[in-house]
Amino acid sequence: MGTAAGTPRARILETAGRLFYERGYHAVGIDTIVAESGVAKMTLYRHFPSKDALVVAYLERVNGQIEALFDAAVQGIDSPAEQLRAICAAVARLASTPQCLGCAFQMSALEFPGRDHPANQAALAHKRAVRGRLLALAQQARLRDPEQLADQLSLLIDGAWAAARVFGPHSPAASMPAAADLLIAAQQP
Amino acid sequence: MGTAAGTPRARILETAGRLFYERGYHAVGIDTIVAESGVAKMTLYRHFPSKDALVVAYLERVNGQIEALFDAAVQGIDSPAEQLRAICAAVARLASTPQCLGCAFQMSALEFPGRDHPANQAALAHKRAVRGRLLALAQQARLRDPEQLADQLSLLIDGAWAAARVFGPHSPAASMPAAADLLIAAQQP
Amino acid sequence: MGTAAGTPRARILETAGRLFYERGYHAVGIDTIVAESGVAKMTLYRHFPSKDALVVAYLERVNGQIEALFDAAVQGIDSPAEQLRAICAAVARLASTPQCLGCAFQMSALEFPGRDHPANQAALAHKRAVRGRLLALAQQARLRDPEQLADQLSLLIDGAWAAARVFGPHSPAASMPAAADLLIAAQQP
Amino acid sequence: MGTAAGTPRARILETAGRLFYERGYHAVGIDTIVAESGVAKMTLYRHFPSKDALVVAYLERVNGQIEALFDAAVQGIDSPAEQLRAICAAVARLASTPQCLGCAFQMSALEFPGRDHPANQAALAHKRAVRGRLLALAQQARLRDPEQLADQLSLLIDGAWAAARVFGPHSPAASMPAAADLLIAAQQP
DNA sequence: ACATACGGGACGCCCCGTTTAT
DNA sequence: ATAAACGGGGCGTCCCGTATGT
pLDDT tens track for B49-96: 999 999 999 999 999 999 999 999 999 999 999 999 999 999 999 999
Question: How many residues does the structure list for chain D?
Answer: 189
Nearest CA-CA distance, residue C8 and chain D, Å: 28
What is the structure's pLDDT at B167?
A: 97
Q: Is the pLDDT of residue C4 over 60?
A: no
What is the structure's pLDDT at D183?
A: 98
pLDDT tens track for C36-83: 888 888 888 888 888 899 999 999 999 999 999 999 999 999 999 999
Contact between C109 and C175 under an 8 Å Cβ cutoff? The reply is no
Non-local CB neighbours of A30 within 8 Å, separated by 6+ positions:
A41, A44, A51
**Distance in angstroms (rounded) separating the CA atoms of residues C123 and C114:** 12
pLDDT tens track for C149-173: 999 999 999 999 999 999 999 999 9
Non-local CB neighbours of B24 within 8 Å, separated by 6+ positions:
A26, A110, A111, A113, B107, B111
Three-state secondary structure string covering A127-182: HHHHHHHHHHHHHHCCCCCHHHHHHHHHHHHHHHHHHHHHHCCCCHHHHHHHHHHH
Instruction: Record the pTM.
Output: 0.88
Mean pLDDT of chain A: 95
What is the structure's pLDDT at B104?
A: 97
User: Would you give the DSSP letter of residue D49?
Assistant: S
pLDDT tens track for C84-112: 999 999 999 999 999 999 999 999 999 99
Chain B residues touching A27 at Cβ < 8 A: 26, 111, 113
* Whole-number Cα distances in Å, A64 to A77, A151, A161, C30: 21, 22, 17, 44
The 3-state DSSP class for residue A186 equals helix
- What percentage of chain A has pLDDT greater than the value 70? 97
What is the structure's pLDDT at C7?
A: 82
The 3-state DSSP class for residue A8 equals helix
What is the structure's pLDDT at C37?
A: 86
What is the structure's pLDDT at C166?
A: 97
Chain C residues touching D24 at Cβ < 8 A: 26, 110-111, 113
By C-alpha to C1' distance, F16 is nearest to D30
Residues C106-117: b if buried by 16+ CB within 10 A, e if exposed: bbbbbbbbeeeb
What is the structure's pLDDT at C101?
A: 95
Q: Which of A9-13, C79-83, C127-131, D123-127 has the lowest mean pLDDT?
A: A9-13
What is the structure's pLDDT at C176?
A: 98
| C-D Cβ pairs (cutoff 8 Å, strict) | 155
pLDDT tens track for A46-84: 999 999 999 999 999 999 999 999 999 999 999 999 999
- A43 CB below 7 A from strand F atoms: no
Nearest CA-CA distance, residue C76 and chain D, Å: 28
Q: Is the pLDDT of residue A143 over 90?
A: yes
Of B21, B143, C124, C12, the residue nearest D167 (C-alpha): C124
pLDDT tens track for B111-159: 999 999 999 999 999 999 999 999 999 999 999 999 999 999 999 999 9
pLDDT tens track for D1-37: 434 457 888 999 999 999 999 999 999 999 999 999 9
Contact between A73 and A86 under an 8 Å Cβ cutoff? The reply is yes
**Distance in angstroms (rounded) separating the CA atoms of residues B91 and B161:** 8
**Distance in angstroms (rounded) separating the CA atoms of residues A62 and A52:** 15
What is the structure's pLDDT at A5?
A: 62
pLDDT tens track for D81-117: 999 999 999 999 999 999 999 999 999 999 999 999 9
Contact between B32 and B15 under an 8 Å Cβ cutoff? The reply is no
Chain D residues touching C178 at Cβ < 8 A: 148, 152
Helix residue spans in chain B (DSSP H): 8-23, 30-37, 41-47, 51-74, 80-95, 104-111, 118-140, 146-167, 176-186
